[in-house]
Amino acid sequence: MTHEGDLRALLFDVDGTLADTEEAHRHAFNAAFAAAGLDWSWDRELYRRLLAVAGGRERIRHYVASAHSELLSRPDLDGRIAALHADKTRRYGEMMAAGEVRLRPGVARLLAEARDAGLRLAIATTTSRENVDALLAATLGPEAVGWFEAIGAGEDVPAKKPAPDIYRWVLARLRLPAQSCLAIEDSVNGLRAAAAGVAVVIAPGFYTANEDFTGAVAVVSDLGEPDRPFRLLGGDAHGRRWVDVGLLRRCRVRQGG
């Protein structure tokens, strides 16, 4: 039998969930392309389609295959993609350090409430550890990285979301069963990655708003604040108007029970 206290850990996605980072990623990709003398430019509509491919290097390769397939036979292609992505990561870090991205509503509050309640925290993302550290430091301060007991990033697993690898990696690090955890995600790639036993609350963003979130325990416009409630887009929020630990415990029970 499942009890309310069964929720032990919150697992956070990063891009689109902690913050709306994808515009910063897109600008960093485009700046890296321009600096390399390429006339590639990803507008929002194209980027929305490219986001189906998780991971920056994988996304560049997919773009090359679909838009510049004549380059696929170049022997130095892997190196060129790696160099482009390294430059993109450097530029993204500069944008984070400059304070260009803010946390989504309710994120800082929920992290503080979860820590007060003794919930364990972890991160499950496809972006790099370097990008995670840059975002956490810029938005929550240098000590925030230490709040998360496990930080699973793109380089930690062979297959990125929607593959379940990163959630399995984090659960193994926490030594917890999926049924004791709840994930907060913004995309269908994240939902699929987490769905094998981990209950998922979705707060979609600009790029993921039209995705199919069937299977999520709740879909909310954002995590909300007491003075700025979320809009419930799907699932059950048990009458609550912002995402707090009490709501997440009930979501976990609903899923587990």
Residues marked active site are found at 13, 15
Query: Do 243 and 221 contact (CB within 8 A), yes or no?
Result: no
One symbol per residue from 217 to 256: x for binding ligand XBP (CB under 6 A), - otherwise; what is it?
A: ----------------------------------------
Residue type, 136: L
Tokens found for residue 193? 């990655």
Burial class (CB in 10 A: 0-12, 13-18, 19+), 8: middle
One symbol per residue from 128 to 147: x for binding ligand XBP (CB under 6 A), - otherwise; what is it?
A: x--x----------------
| Contacts of residue 178, Cβ cutoff 8 Å, sequence gap at least 6 | 167, 171, 196, 197, 198
Which single residue brings its beta carbon nearest to ligand XBP? Answer: 56
Does 152 participate in binding ligand XBP (rule CB under 6 A)? no
Does 20 participate in binding ligand XBP (rule CB under 6 A)? no
Region near ligand XBP per CB under 6 A, out of 50-58, 98-106, 168-176, 197-205: 50-58
Cα–Cα dist 179/103, whole Å = 27
End-to-end CA distance of the chain: 7
Q: Which of 20, 22, 165, 186 binds Mg ion (CB under 5 A)?
A: 186
Burial letters for 103-117: b for 16+ Cβ neighbours within 10 Å, e otherwise? Answer: bbbbbbbbbebbeee
Q: Which of 7, 10, 15, 200 binds Mg ion (CB under 5 A)?
A: 15
Q: How far is CA 9 from CA 5, 25, 121, 175, in A?
A: 11, 28, 6, 11
Query: Which residues are paired to 9 by β-bridges?
Result: 120, 181
Query: How many C-beta atoms lie closer than 10 Å to residue 211's C-beta?
Result: 18
Cα–Cα dist 204/186, whole Å = 4
Q: How far is the CB of 249 from ligand XBP (least distance, A)?
A: 24
Does 104 participate in binding ligand XBP (rule CB under 6 A)? no
Q: Which does 20 bind (CB under 5 to 8 A by kind): ligand XBP, Mg ion, none?
A: none
Query: Do 219 and 204 contact (CB within 8 A), yes or no?
Result: yes
Q: Which of 9, 10, 12, 15 binds ligand XBP (CB under 6 A)?
A: 15
Q: Which of 9, 12, 55, 104 binds ligand XBP (CB under 6 A)?
A: 55
Tokens found for residue 1? 């039998």
Q: How far is the CB of 67 from ligand XBP (least distance, A)?
A: 18
Q: How far is the CB of 161 from Mg ion (least distance, A)?
A: 8
Does 13 participate in binding ligand XBP (rule CB under 6 A)? yes
- Interface residues with ligand XBP (CB under 6 A)? 13-16, 22, 25, 54-56, 125-128, 131, 154, 161, 187, 189-190
- Interface residues with Mg ion (CB under 5 A)? 13, 15-16, 186-187
